Amino acid sequence: MSEIKVYLRIRGDLPQEEEWTSSLKGIPFQVKRRGQQVGRARSQAVDVLLLKLASWESFGDPAEQDRAIQEQLLPAVTLIEQLTPMLVALDRSRCIAELSISTIRQEDQGGFELPAELVAAAGAARLSLGVSILVMLDKYDPDDNDEAQQE
């Protein structure tokens, strides 16, 4: 099983929240402000705006991947295209705008694919690409690591 999440993420000095709410026109988003408590012992280092574009679980079925692209990623393309004027106007010396992709995968699943339309829309909006991949090992034997170090 794998889990994939795709976000529009803007971090750094964000414009005033009123500007975001008018630009996002009722689209749900989350803002984490610098200094805000985000864990037991951690506070937010910089302002971050998160807009979830897609999220799904996959069990390796190609039809399931195609369905996720059609149902979630292609609508995300339309949303990015709508937000492109606002995203292009951001002062990039004060903030970073990115298409952020996070996935948790089994080791035998390999990578994942993004439709060309999503990549093109992200480029037109001047979004960088941030990727986080956590690979879950099917079997972890600490003794295997010890043997490799002894050789």
Structure confidence at residue 22 as a pLDDT band (50, 70, 90): confident
- DSSP label of 40: S
Backbone angles phi and psi of 96, in degrees to 5? -120, 130
Structure confidence at residue 108 as a pLDDT band (50, 70, 90): low
For 70, the 3-state DSSP assignment is helix
Q: Which of the pair, 14 or 99, is modelled with greater confidence? A: 99
**Model confidence pLDDT, tens digit, residues 32-81:** 888 888 888 888 889 999 999 988 887 766 677 677 777 888 889 999 99
C-alpha 130/C-alpha 51 separation (Å) is 14
Q: Which of the pair, 146 or 129, is modelled with greater confidence? A: 129
pLDDT above 90: residue 84: yes
C-alpha 46/C-alpha 73 separation (Å) is 28
Q: Domain coordinates of the chain in residue numbers? A: 2-150
pTM of the model: 0.77
